[in-house]
Amino acid sequence: MNQPVIAVFGASQASEGDGAYEQGVLCGRLLAAAGYGVATGGYGGLMEAVSRGARGVGGWVLGVTAPSVFPGRSGANAYVSEELPADHLMERIHAINDLSAAAITLPGSLGTLTELVAAWNLGFVAPFSGGRPKPLITVGDRWARVVAELAEILATDPYLVTCVPDVESAVAEVIARVPL
């Protein structure tokens, strides 16, 4: 894998035909068409949608699954190029972040929030060890409100998160900030 990989976080409950799923497909397609690989949690919902979009244009997709956490799930979705099983949820989230050059957060719930906050925290602590924060982009007004509220409540800088209105803007941010 010679191309940069972009992590994409999002809801596991999105279904084909709803707007969120279609936006996930578009996100994966745009990232892969621009030359990036994608990494997701590997299961259904927006993880599947992003994987489907990327594979539909010949892109490479890493699915970081957590079989012991989700024993009822039958493995990675059909669009994953390579599955990487993790032993527990935090290992899964850190693996996705470690393997990626940037992250995009699509609509989601508590799991997606956990992924966003973990990536945000990794960006916050990166300079302590001489590293640089990776681009972290959220899509939609809901995440913009969450980021602003958390930044205020926790007295942290929101500058580590770029909030954009749509998938096209998120991919444009990646293209501008993550060289191929």
- Tell me what the mean pLDDT of segment 22-37 comes to: 98
Domain enclosing residue 16, as ranges: 5-177
pLDDT at 69: 86
Name the helix (H) or strand (E) containing 2: none
- List the CATH number of the domain containing 111: 3.40.50.450
pLDDT tens digits for range 98-149: 999 999 999 999 999 999 999 999 999 999 999 999 999 999 999 999 999 9
Domain count, the chain: 1
In angstroms, what CA-CA distances link 69 with 9, 86, 91, 93? 17, 9, 11, 12
